[in-house]
């Protein structure tokens, strides 16, 4: 009788654990899909927004960069907010704020007001990203890389679907404001899901105290810089690709929107494959291969003579980008499994800095010299990712060497 009762309790506990993992996975995937859709909207509609708000290119770049500024600030506050309020309330509030800022952008009538809304969305985005990735590292265990790739692929789904739907809808006569309002509402529903379904999650380990440094500090720094370059390039291309295709390649907005969707489709397809196979290859070698592939594909896209070939190469760039963000996060968690929140914050801080500096620098170059030189700047920064991936591979090999 005791054994039967114990077996039932065990089965119930295992069933509850599986249900908990499913809820976290679904909500994480939904969050990343919402992020992907929301973050691509300003870039998709940038040719219209430049005219609507009567902006210079550098003003457009500054408007978009303010979202990354807020993102970086909120990343620094994320650990304290998670410790104080817990996963459920922090995630619910941060996702809701992100959606509120995106939806509010659809009600603005100037680029300054739009920048304020993007700033608000960035504040929610930063806390959310630290929390969700920390949570996934904790529940994923040895297969955290697979789980991260699986949930992050839904960022690509949102990024792939939203540009094509938005570009075609606006071309058909729908107001550019409606996609922002719809995306904000959908994100608010995801926020409600986090608050309603997630409970009892332990707070993450705190950040290192003042003067305390994590182990492998140089390797963590290199990973953070690599992630910064990646995020700057990924989001920068997502923000400027339609403008580049319309202005430099002389294609229609719907064609440019399809090109942007292909870019995100490549990223989505890559993450789908890696969600089942990432554990078969060492994280550092996978990073090196992906950085080489993405850099070559981007260079080919800019140098391609035909618009269709450029679109195909941009899709290849997205494919190369696919596993870099989840791979860096998983590798950082593997190197310091007991300080996942601290390492995640360090890495995402690097991502936030890159998301500010690189796209804004590109916008300044484009404003002064033209879009093609601006896009060549992205080619240079993706090439720099290769060198950093080599340093990561060597650093991991040194850590693994017997002493």
Q: How many domains does the chain have?
A: 1
Flag whether 276 is in a domain: yes
Per-residue 3-state assignment (H helix, E strand, C coil) for 317-366:
HHHHHCCHHHHHHHHHHHHCHHHHHHHHHHHHHHHHHHHHHHHHHHHHHH
Flag whether 7 is in a domain: no
Question: What is the phi/psi pair of residue 213, to 5°?
Answer: -115, 145
From residue 204, alpha-carbon distances to 31, 82, 124, 137, 342 in Å are 19, 7, 18, 11, 9
Which residues 6+ apart lie within 8 Å of 4 measured at CB? none
| Predicted local confidence at residue 2, as pLDDT | 47
Task: Please name which of 273, 21, 6, 305 lies closest in space to residue 152, comparing C-alpha atoms.
Answer: 273
Interval 362-394: pLDDT, tens: 988 988 898 899 999 999 999 999 999 998 888
- Per the rule left: phi > 0, alpha: psi between -120 and 50, beta: everything else, 250 is left
Q: For residue 184, name the pLDDT band (cuts at 50, 70, 90).
A: very high
Residue 205 is given by DSSP the state: P
Interval 64-83: pLDDT, tens: 888 888 988 898 888 778 87
Q: For residue 217, name the pLDDT band (cuts at 50, 70, 90).
A: low
> Has this prediction a pTM greater than 0.85?
no
pLDDT of 204 above 70 = no
Flag whether 10 is in a domain: no
Flag whether 6 is in a domain: no
Averaged pLDDT, 125-144: 81
| Predicted local confidence at residue 211, as pLDDT | 40
Q: What is the CATH number for 60?
A: 1.20.1250.20
Flag whether 344 is in a domain: yes
Interval 150-159: pLDDT, tens: 888 888 788 7
Q: What residue numbers bound the domain in which 88 lies?
A: 21-201+212-400
Flag whether 394 is in a domain: yes
| Predicted local confidence at residue 212, as pLDDT | 42
Flag whether 206 is in a domain: no
pLDDT of 96 above 50 = yes
């Amino acid at each position: 009788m005791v054994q039967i009762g114990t077996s039932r309790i065990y089965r119930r506990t295992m069933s509850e654990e599986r249900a908990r993992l499913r809820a976290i996975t679904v909500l994480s995937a939904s969050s990343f899909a919402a992020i992907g859709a929301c973050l691509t909207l300003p870039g998709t509609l940038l040719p219209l927004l430049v005219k609507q708000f009567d902006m210079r290119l550098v003003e457009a770049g500054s408007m978009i960069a303010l979202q990354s500024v807020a993102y970086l600030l909120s990343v620094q506050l994320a650990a304290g907010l998670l410790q104080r309020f817990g996963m459920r309330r922090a995630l619910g509030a941060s996702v809701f704020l992100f959606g509120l800022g995106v939806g509010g952008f659809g009600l603005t009538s100037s680029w300054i007001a739009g920048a304020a809304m993007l700033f608000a969305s960035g504040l929610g985005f930063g806390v959310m990203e630290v929390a969700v990735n920390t949570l996934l590292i904790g529940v994923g265990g040895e297969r955290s890389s697979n789980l991260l790739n699986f949930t992050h692929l839904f960022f690509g789904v949102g990024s792939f679907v939203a540009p094509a739907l938005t570009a075609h809808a606006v071309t058909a006569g729908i107001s550019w404001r409606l996609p922002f309002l719809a995306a904000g509402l959908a994100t608010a529903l995801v926020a409600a899901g986090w608050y309603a379904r997630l409970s009892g999650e332990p707070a993450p380990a705190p950040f290192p105290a003042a003067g305390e440094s994590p182990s492998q500090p140089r390797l963590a720094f290199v990973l953070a810089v690599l992630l910064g370059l990646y995020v700057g390039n990924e989001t920068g291309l997502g923000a400027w690709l339609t403008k580049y295709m319309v202005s430099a390649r002389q294609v229609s907005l719907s064609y440019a929107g399809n090109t942007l969707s292909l870019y995100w489709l490549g990223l989505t397809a890559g993450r789908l494959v890696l969600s089942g196979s990432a554990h078969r290859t060492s994280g550092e070698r996978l990073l090196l291969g992906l950085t080489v592939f993405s850099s070559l594909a981007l260079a080919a896209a800019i140098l391609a003579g035909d618009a269709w070939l450029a679109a195909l190469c941009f899709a290849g760039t997205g494919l190369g980008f696919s596993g870099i963000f989840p791979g860096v996060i998983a590798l950082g968690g593997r190197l310091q499994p007991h300080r996942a929140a601290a390492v995640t914050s360090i890495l995402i801080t690097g991502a936030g800095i890159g998301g500010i500096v690189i796209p804004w620098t590109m916008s300044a170059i484009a404003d002064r010299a033209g879009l093609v030189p601006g896009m060549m700047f992205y080619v240079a920064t993706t090439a720099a990712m290769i060198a950093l991936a080599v340093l990561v591979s060597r650093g991991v090999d040194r850590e693994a060497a017997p002493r």
